[in-house]
Structure 1
């Protein structure tokens, strides 16, 4: 065998590797950030250190006033920076998705961390299940220094799931994980995004509830993200969690009904849950009374009865739980 034959075989092997790489789906990792300069570098590094090669990393900064933007721009062409005015988490989801090119989209809050095998595991699930539109997985709660905490989010085993009939009937699925465990096919997100950018809307709740109401998917029973718990978390373990949940359910229900009339029963359920949460803490926030009035003005008498029946049920349930 001469030197020319050896070079030809080497060139052929390299060409095959390139072909295999190009046939793998491109994955977009969308990192949303606001004033988390102490965390954002670790989030970006965890995305860069994935074992799966075909990725693009889009970092959307929502008008931070700390050193976040300086940190982000130092990564140069390793990432795609989107620096925008402050508009809330929903606006970062919209901006990141608009800039993405991937067939698969994975979200990452800038205070969380992906494990190195995260994207490879998710791609494998989508590859083996061509008919699914979403893949969610387990998370490990950690402290500010990424040390494991004794409490954690719900852990599930791997299974294929279809909640569409359940949710169209106005029932909620089992608890779903937070932003950094949410992965979607682009074709599904194109039906959902851009989302409404109202103040108070829980962007990840809207995103995951609508997604599982529109398509089947998979839970992946592996911990692939560290979900950091700290004093500035938007929702997890907050002392004012009921206030946050109340306005989130009301606004999410409002926008679900507006954009997806076929999910009206689900929207009614959310509005009822939001009203019940406000009743439990002293009454509906004046800021959102008009939202409730507008929603009810487009509802039939039967729907109104259903909404208030749900509100009463959940209110009484909260009262009984508080007595235990």
Structure 2
């Protein structure tokens, strides 16, 4: 029998897009799933909309008090029971065979703690706006190699929905670090990847919706204060991992400069091609 996969959706004020996200998960070719949705005390009708969807695989929860992003993401993980897990933000989408391809990779490669695929960027209307690719290699790659190279290039783990991971390893590392506001997913996947290998599929099996109101949109949209916090969090991430990834003070300074430049470049891209 195929192993159970827990797909998590941490929801907050996502009534406009969450139905598309849920449909993309329930219509996967891989069917042995549980869909854990935790509404973080939304102010719109997100919770009521989900209640109307009749599918026994959905496990819907509601927080009486808003836990914030890291708190709600950790609650999602704590409610999972599957061998594997994937976290999908409430406005992103999976291609029909995303889970099948990534679970098959994990099953065939016991040393892999994450299986991930490339991402297609879309706007609010679902129109393609480019691609976000993973590490340059394909197949099984040492996780620490990806993490270290990523600090001098880009976050190769990208948005959460691009990654399917072993739930027991997620429990081992302790879930999401609540000290972060913006890059808690980057920190989480770096910690996971350092526990083993990563299997990379260079095909766009997921879709990331780029919008101004999201964390990514705010940081990369040119907001100086939020970009400053983002860079400070990147420095914190480097300091946390400097010993196990053998980062020198020079490496850390170089990585921070690269991160600042990438924030600027991303803000220009969003203004020119997305936020019109």
Partner deviation per Cα, 1:173-217 (whole Å, 9 max, x = no partner): 753221110210112111223333236252211111211222211
Q: Which residue of 1 aligns with 2:269?
A: none
d(CA) in 2 for partners of 1:148 and 1:170? Answer: 25
Secondary structure of the 1:152 match is strand
CA–CA distance in structure 2, aligned partners of residues 144 and 133 of structure 1:
32
| Aligned counterpart in structure 1 of residue 61 of structure 2, from 71, 82, 100 | 82
Give the secondary-structure state (helix, strand or coil) at the position aligned to 1:265. Answer: coil
- Tell me by how many angstroms 1:87 deviates: 2.1
**Partner in structure 2 of residue 20 of structure 1:** none
CA distance in 2, matches of 1:244, 1:268: 29
Aligned in 2, Cα 1:46/1:266: closer, same or farther, shift over 3 Å? same
Change (3 A) 1:89 1:32: same
- Other-structure match for 1:240: 222
Task: Give a deviation string over 1:126-155, Cα, whole Å, max 9, x none.
Answer: 121121111111111112121212x32236
Whole-angstrom distance in 2 between the partners of 1:110 and 1:223? 18
- What's the counterpart of residue 4 of structure 1? none
How much does 1:88 deviate?
2.2
Query: Match of 1:126, SS?
Result: helix
Q: Which has the higher helix share?
A: 1
Which among 98, 107, 118 is matched to residue 78 of structure 2?
A: 98
Distance 1:60 1:316, change over 3 A: closer
- 2:6 aligns with 28
Aligned-residue Cα RMSD (Å) equals 3.3
Counterpart Cα distance in 2 of 1:45 and 1:256: 37
SS class of match (2:110)? coil
Tell me the distance in 2 between the aligned counterparts of 1:317 and 1:47.
Answer: 33
Higher relative contact order (CA 8 A, sep 6+): 2
Unaligned regions of 5+ residues in structure 2, if any? 265-276
When residues 191 and 248 of structure 1 are mapped into structure 2, their CA distance, relative to the original with a 3 A threshold, is farther
Task: Give the match's secondary structure for 2:161.
Answer: helix
- Partner residue, 2:33: 55
Unaligned 5+ runs, structure 1: 1-22, 270-302
Residue 78 (structure 1) shift:
3.8
Which of the numbers 114, 132, 143 marks the counterpart of 1:153?
132
Going from structure 1 to structure 2, the CA distance change for 1:217 and 1:167 (only over 3 Å counts) comes to closer
Equivalent residue for 1:227? 208
Are 1:136 and 2:116 counterparts?
yes
Q: Deviations over 1:158-178 (max 9, x none)?
A: 321113267589966753221
Q: Give the aligned length.
A: 258
Distance 2:150 2:68 in 1: 28
Query: Take 2:199 and 2:146, find their aligned partners in 1: how far apart are those partners?
Result: 16
For the structure 1 residues 25 and 242, does the alpha-carbon distance in structure 2 shift closer, same or farther, using more than 3 Å as the test? farther
Cα 1:106–1:316 change in 2 (3 A) is: closer
Query: CA separation in 2, counterparts of 1:317 and 1:229?
Result: 19
- How far, CA to CA, are the matches of 1:43 and 1:211 in structure 2? 25
- If the length of structure 1 is used for normalisation, what is the TM-score? 0.69
In the alignment, does 2:189 pair up with 1:208? yes
